[in-house]
Structure 1
């Protein structure tokens, strides 16, 4: 078997990135690890997030991964520089790709960012956006209710709409905003509801497509792309309840045919 790409997230949100990786890189085997038992990461301290992220990384390094994708905005904000410095494999996150996609989209330089408390407080998106274009106006809002709702499998319907409507009131008061970044990989699972609440004048941006493109470019640069298996095997791991994880996985991949997929429980206590 070819060496796989490793993907980590605090829960099920990173599956939105995995779906896009499979679509753009159909010959690449993937190993996904979602820390569903300790999700959400947003309210946790930087030290906790770094500890949990390193535990996931060590788990995947034992699987002989050739590259790491941090499909979690909070973990990206707090750990990516350290991981890139200390690991011998390429490491990318989701914040810079999301920022690039938003810059391409905006017509008036007013960009909104919604994410976890940790991501918003880190200022990582504001920094990434202004590194690309210095005159960007950034409005940020933490949405702590979204991740727990998604982890319960509530992705649409009246309850999801009510929570989204109530949560987004402060950021939607900014009439000039024309682009909204989903600064958490859980949020694309609510994208239809968020778009409906935000209205058609606002472009809602997920970092998944741009992250997959950066992954492809990174594989080519390091000459580690897999060119052989048209239907590679994939492994998904979760640290918490597998029933809900499987249910959400089935919703995300219901219309997809990406090869053999196995889903297992992961124990990070002894990694």
Structure 2
């Protein structure tokens, strides 16, 4: 069965994965997409592995009901805790999102890199396996407590966010990091505030572009790229107040509130 015109599905513990969606939409404008913001259950980073797996399965099943041909787990916490189980359970390609540690570790000149992520990502088996491959590099890990909650509340420009970022980034500046890895799909929305705090030579990297490229690669390999030339459709669903999601998308797209 030709699935090429079927949509790409994405889910996240809220609005953050739209940073991934933007990269995919930019690289693959001919694809239909469905984005699921599980904001009612955000943040995932403070939940148990079992809870994260259960929520990821719930989101996946909703997207499969919508006939999605490929699912992007646009959440670091869900990827690092649940993607193995998702791949075993469902017969659909999954693209995960992991912190971009490798490019930072390869290119660092100071032998010190920072990573800002959720507790769920930093404590996961997959993250620790990845990081163990880079010996001799000082990796300054920091849990971004409360950042996701504040972003979900639409408080991107708040003093509370700025104060937390100053606190979280101070040990990284002290350690002379030259790369900061953003290990949560919500955090790219904090880049302007982060740049105000970090020294100008520190490079900030996230996984969005790499995820988009991998999505394209998998679709090509499975002959599922949409080459129909038909008008595309982008659907956004949230199970919480849609106002913040609408604002982050620039009010260009319709956001439907659904119970899932």
TM-score (norm 2): 0.91
Alignment of 1:93-242 (within 5 A): 93-95=96-98, 98-103=100-105, 105-122=107-124, 124-131=126-133, 133=134, 135-156=136-157, 158-175=159-176, 177-229=177-229, 231-242=231-242
Q: What SS class does the counterpart of residue 155 from structure 1 fall into? A: coil
Asked whether the 8 Å contact 2:87–2:93 carries over to 1, the reply is yes
Report the equivalent of 1:267.
259
Asked whether the 8 Å contact 1:17–1:211 carries over to 2, the reply is yes
Asked whether the 8 Å contact 1:4–1:65 carries over to 2, the reply is yes
Equivalent-residue separation in structure 2 for 1:136 and 1:130 (angstroms): 10
Indicate whether 1:27 and 2:58 are aligned: no
Distance apart, 1:216 and its partner CA: 0.9
Equivalent-residue separation in structure 2 for 1:103 and 1:169 (angstroms): 20
Alignment of 1:54-93 (within 5 A): 54-93=57-96
Q: Which runs of 5+ in 1 are unaligned?
A: 254-260
Distance apart, 1:197 and its partner CA: 1.1
Q: Which runs of 5+ in 2 are unaligned?
A: none
Distance apart, 1:223 and its partner CA: 1.4
Count of aligned residue pairs for this structure pair: 257
Indicate whether 1:17 and 2:20 are aligned: yes
Residues 150-192 of structure 1, C-alpha deviations (whole Å, 9 max, x = no match): 11112235443223112322333212x2111100000000011
Q: What SS class does the counterpart of residue 241 from structure 1 fall into? A: coil
Q: What SS class does the counterpart of residue 180 from structure 2 fall into? A: strand
Q: What SS class does the counterpart of residue 55 from structure 2 fall into? A: helix
Q: What SS class does the counterpart of residue 264 from structure 1 fall into? A: strand
Asked whether the 8 Å contact 1:172–1:198 carries over to 2, the reply is yes
Equivalent-residue separation in structure 1 for 2:231 and 2:105 (angstroms): 34
Runs of 4+ in 1 over 6 A off after TM superposition: none
Q: Which moved more, 1:86-95 or 1:10-19?
A: 86-95
Structural RMSD (CA): 2.1
Equivalent-residue separation in structure 2 for 1:181 and 1:125 (angstroms): 13
Indicate whether 1:42 and 2:34 are aligned: no
Equivalent-residue separation in structure 1 for 2:219 and 2:110 (angstroms): 34
Asked whether the 8 Å contact 2:53–2:85 carries over to 1, the reply is no
